[in-house]
Homo-oligomer: A and B are copies of this chain.
Amino acid sequence: MGIAPGRLPPGSLNAITDVAGVRVGHTTLVQGEGQLVPGVGPIRTGVTAVLPHAGDLFLDKVVGVVHSINGFGEVTGAAQVAEMGVLEGPVMITNSLNVACVVDAVIDWAQAHNPAMGVTTWGISPIVAECSDMYLNDIRGKHVRAEHVIAAIEGAREGSVEEGCVGAGTGMSCYGFKGGVGTSSRVVPAEAGGYTVGVLVVSNFGNRERLTIDGVPVGHLLVGWPETAAVEPTSASSLARPGRAVEPARPQGGSIIIILATDVPLSERQLGRLAKRAAHGLARTGSFAGTTSGDFVIAFTTANHVVHEGPDLTYPMTCITESWQIINPLFEAVVEATEEAVLNSLFRAQTVVGRDNHVRYALPLERVVEIMHQYGHTHVKLP
């Protein structure tokens, strides 16, 4: 659409997978319509896996951190990441009530690949983050099962990333519109190392009134939209039909999970500095980190690996020089990629009808383009 916040160029895919080796997999669960029957449906949920590399993540760990912007939510395994500074498995996102299932499935999957785990060495402490899709999904049904988790992990691929209503984003809402998965990337100039920063979000937060797109108060002008809804569904079973009740934007926000990947060589402290800048990008879209919003950043770098119980006394780590010429562009890259990933989660989502015929409308892109033009962003156009 011509909306690319900031000054740095994206990678070739404009996705977290621009960081070499990173893989993303989704399992999307959409089934049933109409009245909520707990345990049966309607189902609008899923699970998303982000893998730092294609190898054995337990034996070949990557430097990682978890940063809490607002801790009203859960990221399992975060204490151990804080203590040890590494991720030792896939990063998983799902709905709030399926966290336990995903934890168990990741443990089982990891044990299957590492027979020594829990026998002669420690077990994995899985990283599972969550948002609540209870507005659209039969969340109490816990419809994500172990096989869905395995499918997301095993199906994770490099290359372009599906966005919008997929994986963990299937039932999520953002700024009173349909949200979900969004991704973006930035590449810093060659003199700052030419490194890549990639972000993938599952967005499920925000008051519509505050939605800001590249500085333009779009949300403010869409309060009350659509007054006379005549929205055309864009796919068969799960989308809105004219005449259905439109739910007001949930006022208290929900959550956002931000996965930050990079190929910059960073110590844990340095990676933590990058992770904190994600909040700056988030803020630019209109977030004030509402009280019940679980806003977390899970970050890793593929440039520093740590061998599991390495045989040597020491191991080498490479760190970036923290002069402003070198690290500031990386901070900017995080801000820009996060801002754009949130916007992409809105731009790529479609209207969804869920449990009890709850409707979450896609952001009306035509109207957005009009507003952007009205605010001087005349280069913006429909995709």
Contact = CB atoms under 8 A, between A and B. Distances in A.
Given A283-B283, A313-B326, A318-B316, A288 B331 contact: yes
Interface stretch (A77-85, A196-204, A228-236, A345-353): A77-85
A119 interface: yes
The DSSP consensus for interface residues of chain A is mixed
A100 B97 contact: no
Given A99-B103, A288-B335, A320 B313 contact: yes
Nearest to A123: B96
A97 to B, nearest CB: 6
Given A68-B83, A76-B76, A82-B71, A104 B100 contact: yes
A227 interface: no
Interface residues of A, number: 99
Contacts of A31: none
Contacts of A96: 118, 123
Given A269-B268, A290-B331, A313-B193, A253 B72 contact: no
B320 A267 contact: no
A74 interface: yes
Contacts of A84: 71-72, 322
Nearest to A265: B314
A333 to B, nearest CB: 9
A261 interface: no
Contacts of A375: 215, 375-377
A334 B315 CA distance: 22
Nearest to A139: B118
A377 to B, nearest CB: 8
Contacts of A77: 74
Contacts of A71: 79-80, 82-84
Given A309-B321, A324-B253, A107 B97 contact: yes
A287 B287 CA distance: 15
A160 interface: no
Nearest to A250: B324
Contacts of A237: none
Contacts of A288: 277, 280, 328, 331-332, 334-335
Contact of A276 (B79, B289, B321): B289
Contacts of A381: none
Interface in A154-202: 192-193
A279 interface: yes
The 9 A-B pairs with the shortest beta carbon distances in the complex, nearest first, are: A215-B215, A252-B324, A71-B83, A280-B283, A71-B79, A375-B376, A100-B100, A283-B283, A100-B104
Given A100-B100, A103-B103, A316-B317, 4 more contacts: A215-B215, A279-B283, A280-B287, A291-B331
7 contacts: A7-B209, A69-B276, A72-B122, A85-B267, A216-B376, A288-B328, A291-B328
